[in-house]
Every structure is written in structure tokens, then in C-alpha cells.
Amino acid sequence: MTAYLDHAATTPMLPVAATAMAEQLTQVGNASSLHRTGRAARRVVEESREKIAKAIGARPSEVVFTSGGTESDNLAVKGTYWARRDADPARTRLVVSAIEHHAVLDCVEFLVRHDGAKVTWVEPTSAGFVEPAAVRRAIEEDPGSVALVSVMWANNEVGTVQDVRAIGDVAHEHGIPFHTDAVQAVGHLPVDFAGCGADLLTVTAHKLGGPIGIGALVARRDVRLVPLTHGGGQERQLRSGTLDAPAIRGFAAAVVAATETLDTEVPRLTALRDQLIERAVSLGLGIRPGGHWAAGDHERRLPGNAHLLIDGCDGDSLLYLLDAAGVSCSTGSACQAGVPQPSHVLRAMGLSESDARGALRLTLGHTSTDADVDAVIEALPAAVERARRARRATS
């Protein structure tokens, strides 16, 4: 039996979401059609939009459905950059944290290569925090040139939670829109779009118990965006494409369920995370937590994120050895799996290449139990020993 500790990559669907999606899959109707079945599909979409908006403190009109986090990040970054640059040719600079997901990083690099954009990377602290003062310094190099500020709400590798309200305030002091990738935050932390200071917020369903392939960009009505896709203009003329009513219904069911259980799930997962970290460190194998960690702290580190640094090992070796022992985990962002390069997040935090290579990301979710923690602790000693032998043999 496998102990699944890779919930940050994707988490199992919640039963209520799977049921809602399955029921809708048997229904016919294009939500853009005007006949009865089309109107029924449209009702499902709009009721789901209302549920998602209510759960995250947004207005229904601010929820723009997309295919997931990557598309939402691309629409936020490219769409805002193009709109702001077209309105003011001087707005060619992006202020972005150096620890963003590649859905943001690669989007920025595309704009640099193809549109002549400039970027100021905001480096984090050694614990993984992006300080509002650092964002301010980056903006004030030339405030009139900045098109967008983008800083993720919670890091997908080391779990650090940023002060998005303060960062948004800094951006708004200079009249600059602020985007936050909240893929790891929604459903795991309290998220209030209206009060968080963001103009644009990315969310995806499969990180919180919904289906893969559906997400949203939550965008304030006064934010100007250039669409990436053109066609029917179904979503506020910002995103074209036939709306996936079954996935949207499953998405809404998952968001509601995940946010309604935060009061019990946050302390439960925090306790499991702390148990995992403390037991791993106490093995005497030279294991230490990556990023910020203090027992019981779920405000500055995601409740379910147990990021470990293990000296003298390669993360890929540890991953495969633990997999063989029945433990599923990650070395970092799942989108980078198999790429023989150290994590850009850890390198930005100041870790050496050697230390960054020996990282494991163990993430817990709604199906996690004490048995999963036990399985990791039981498998770690042998895996670390073999991984270190393999590193010595190749060095």
C-alpha cells in the first residue's frame, strides 16, 4: 500500500466533488446555447461561479474560468503586461519574486525574449519570505516603468506563506496592479480576495480536491487584460472556449468543502506536519527542515508542507528509493520532475547547489493519516543510507 505524500502536486478528489462532476457528466448542453438544455448547463456554471466566489471572498463577476493554474498565471502576467504596455509604452517592467512557480517564471521569460520586457527579480530571505520592503525597493528603481507585481501567496516547494496584503499595499501605493498565485493557498488557508490586496488571483481545482483541468483567474472588474485566446469570448471576453460544466461543478463542490473544513483540517495537518518534521530530524541522519518552520505555525508555513534537506544525498535518488518502499513524494515542483537541476527556489534562498540537490518535499492533504507519517519515518533511514552511498560512488 502506498503512502501518498505529494498532495502539493495533486490531491485526490473529494468524494463530494467526484459525485457532483459525475452527475453533471451525464447531462447534455452547451452553456452558451439558448435552448433549454443550454440554459440548464448555464445555470450550473453560474451557480458554481457564485459558490466559488462566496468561498474565497470575491464577486461572481470576478471569477474567470480557465483550464487551471498555468493558464490563469499566463493570462494574469501576459494579459496585464500587454494591456498596460499598450496604454503606456513606458510600462515594460515586471517585478516578480524569484521563487515563483514556472507557470509565472517561464511566462515572464517569454515576455523578455519576445516583447522586450524587463524584469526585476525580488530575492527571498534565507527562510523563503519575500519581504514587502524588498518589493518596494524593486518598484522604486523606476515606478513608472512597472506593469505588474507578481508574488505567490504560498510557495509550492518550501511552503512559506507571504504577507500578500502588505505586498499589495506597496504595489497600490504606486498605482501598479498586483497578482498572486494562490494555487497552494486556496482550500488550505483562509483566503479573502476582497481583503487580500490582490487585483488578480490564481486558483486551480486539483490542488484542493477538485478535478484536473479546471481553474480560475479571479480578476477585479477594473483590471485591464488582453486575452490569450480568441473565439466566443465566453468569460468576460477574456477567455474563449466552451465551458466545462461538469468540471466547473466539481470545482465548486471542492472549494466549498475545502474551505468549510479549514477550522478542523488546518490544525490536523499542522500537527501531522510537525510530527513528520520532528521525527525525521530526530532520526540522527543530518536531516533539517527547509524554509521557515516553527511547531504549530500555520500562518507562515503551509499546514501540510514538510520540506526536508538531507545532506550528502541526491533528491532524485531518495525519491526513487522511497517510491520503491511505498512512499510517494517529490523533490520539488512536480513540473520540474526529472530535470537534473537543483531547485530554483532553494538556490534563490541561498542554498548551495549540493544542499539544494538533497531536498525532499513531503506534502500532506485530506487523506493523510498518522500511518503515512509512520511509513515515511520507517523508510527514510535505509533510503538515506543507499542514496549517500550512490552519491559517494559517483563523486
- 394: part of which helix (H) or strand (E)? helix 370-394
In the residue annotation, 335 being an active-site residue is answered as: yes
156 in Cβ contact with 183 (< 8 Å): yes
Residue carrying C-alpha cell 538515506: 384
Grid cell for residue 62:
470576478
The secondary structure of residue 13, as a DSSP letter, is P
- 95: part of which helix (H) or strand (E)? strand 93-97
Grid cell for residue 72:
490563469
Q: Which of 196, 313, 329, 335 is catalytic?
A: 335
If DSSP codes are grouped into helix, strand and coil, which group holds residue 330? Answer: strand
Q: Is 393 exposed, middle or buried (0-12, 13-18, 19+ CB in 10 A)?
A: exposed
Residue carrying C-alpha cell 465566453: 234
Cα 325 to Cα 330: distance, rounded to the nearest angstrom: 14
Cα 226 to Cα 238: distance, rounded to the nearest angstrom: 7
346-119-95 Cα angle (round to 5)? 75
Cα 297 to Cα 175: distance, rounded to the nearest angstrom: 33
Grid cell for residue 386:
543507499
313 in Cβ contact with 391 (< 8 Å): yes
Give the active site residues. 335
